[in-house]
C-alpha cells in the first residue's frame, strides 16, 4: 500500500455511507488515503472492525463516545475480543462533551467521567493510545480542563503507557501546550479551512505532534462545506496545515503520514 494521506478520525462505519461506501473506498484507494474509522459504542466499534477486515487502508478505534449513546456504559467485556484484533489501534472516541449537556449537569458530568476513566484504564491495560473527544461548553475550555486533570492524575503513575491523540482540537494555544507536555498529539479537521480560530495552534505546535483528520461524515472542509464529508477530503486539511505553517506541502504531507503511523503503531511496511 502506498499511503499518501492519513485521516486519523472518520466514521465510514456509519450508515451515512451505506448507499455508496464502495465508491467512497475506491476514491480513497486511488488517492492513497488511509483512515482510522472510529466506533462510538459497542455496536459501531464492531462494525468498524468488520469494515477494516475488508479494506487494507482502514484501521479502527473502539470505544464509547461521551454523548452519542447515553444508554450504554463502557463495559471492558464488550471490547475484550475486539481489542485483540490486529487492526484495532486506539481506544475511543472517549472523553468529555459538555457542549450538549441538558438537565442535571453534575450527574451527566459524573456519568461521562466514569466512562472516560474506564476507557483510560482499558487503554493502559492493552497498551493502546486514546482517541480523545473533548468538547467544552460554549465560550469556555471547561471540558479540556477536566480531561487534562484526569489525564494528569494517570500520567503520574503510568507515564510510559498513557498516550493518545486529541481529536478535533478546538482549544487554545495554552491548552494545546498542556496536552503536548504529556505527549498527546492534536488532530485537526476541515474546520481549519474556514475558521481562523485555530491558526495559531496549527502554526505553533511541533510538526511531529499534529495529525490530519476529517471526522467524516461531519464537518466537511472548503470547498465541500455543507456536503457529506469523506476521508478523501483530508487532502484539503493537509493543504491548509502546510499553508498555515508556511512549510512545503510535500514535507508536511509526508510528515503527517509518518506521525499517524508512529502514534497508532502501524508498521510502515504495511503502509
Ligand atoms: Zn468522531
CA of 130 to the centre of ligand 1 (A): 13
How remote is the CA of residue 141 from the centroid of ligand 1, in Å? 19
Cα(31) to centroid(ligand 1), Å: 22
Grid cell listed for 236: 484539503
Q: With H, G, I as helix, E, B as strand and everything else as coil, classify residue 150.
A: helix
Q: What is residue 104's predicted lDDT score, i.e. its pLDDT?
A: 87
What single DSSP character describes residue 209? G
State the distance from the centre of ligand 1 to the C-alpha of 92, rounded, in angstroms: 9
| pLDDT given for residue 102 in this prediction | 85
Domains of the chain: 5-263 (3.20.20.140)
pLDDT of 270 reads 76
All three cell numbers of 44: 459501531
For the sheet with 210-212, list strands across it. 5-10, 33-38, 58-62, 88-97, 130-135, 164-167, 185-188, 210-212
Distance 192 CA to ligand 1 centre (A): 16
Per-residue pLDDT of the chain (271 residues; tens, 9 = 90+): 799 999 999 999 999 999 999 999 999 999 999 999 999 999 999 999 999 999 999 999 999 999 999 999 999 999 999 999 999 999 999 999 999 898 889 999 999 999 999 999 999 999 999 999 999 999 999 999 999 999 999 999 988 899 999 999 999 999 999 999 999 999 999 999 999 999 999 999 999 999 999 999 999 999 999 999 999 999 999 999 999 999 999 999 999 999 999 999 998 777 6
Dist. CA 12–CA 24, nearest whole Å: 9
Count of Cβ atoms closer than 10 Å to residue 52 Cβ? 23
Q: For residue 254, how far is its CA from the centre of ligand 1 (angstroms)?
A: 24
CA of 59 to the centre of ligand 1 (A): 14
Q: What was the pLDDT predicted at 160?
A: 87
Find the 107 Cα to ligand 1 centroid distance in Å: 23
Give which of 58, 109, 115 is closest to 92, Cα–Cα: 115
Output the pTM of the full model. Answer: 0.97
Amino acid at each position: 500500500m502506498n499511503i499518501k494521506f492519513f485521516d486519523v478520525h472518520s466514521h465510514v462505519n456509519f450508515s451515512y455511507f451505506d448507499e455508496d461506501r464502495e465508491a467512497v473506498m475506491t476514491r480513497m484507494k486511488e488517492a492513497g488515503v488511509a483512515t482510522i474509522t472510529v466506533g462510538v459504542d459497542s455496536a459501531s466499534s464492531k462494525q468498524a472492525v468488520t469494515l477494516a477486515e475488508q479494506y487494507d487502508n482502514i484501521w479502527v478505534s473502539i470505544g464509547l463516545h461521551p454523548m452519542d449513546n447515553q444508554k450504554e456504559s463502557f463495559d471492558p467485556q464488550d471490547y475484550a475480543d475486539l481489542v485483540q484484533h490486529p487492526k484495532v489501534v486506539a481506544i475511543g472516541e472517549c472523553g468529555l462533551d459538555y457542549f450538549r449537556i441538558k438537565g442535571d449537569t453534575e450527574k451527566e458530568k459524573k456519568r461521562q467521567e466514569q466512562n472516560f476513566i474506564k476507557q483510560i484504564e482499558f487503554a493502559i491495560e492493552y497498551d493502546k493510545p486514546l482517541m480523545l473527544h473533548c468538547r467544552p461548553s460554549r465560550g469556555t475550555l471547561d471540558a479540556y480542563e477536566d480531561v487534562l486533570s484526569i489525564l494528569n492524575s494517570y500520567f503520574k503513575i503510568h507515564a510510559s503507557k498513557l498516550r493518545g491523540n486529541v481529536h478535533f482540537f478546538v482549544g487554545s494555544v495554552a491548552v494545546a501546550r498542556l496536552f503536548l507536555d504529556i505527549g498527546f498529539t492534536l488532530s485537526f479537521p476541515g474546520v481549519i479551512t474556514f475558521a481562523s480560530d485555530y491558526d495559531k495552534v496549527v502554526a505553533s505546535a511541533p510538526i511531529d505532534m499534529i495529525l490530519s483528520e476529517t471526522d467524516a461524515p461531519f464537518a466537511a472542509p472548503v470547498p465541500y462545506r455543507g456536503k457529506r464529508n469523506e476521508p478523501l477530503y483530508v487532502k484539503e486539511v493537509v493543504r491548509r496545515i502546510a499553508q498555515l505553517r508556511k512549510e512545503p506541502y510535500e514535507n508536511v504531507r509526508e510528515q503527517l503520514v509518518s506521525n499517524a503511523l508512529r502514534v497508532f503503531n502501524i508498521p510502515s511496511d504495511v503502509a
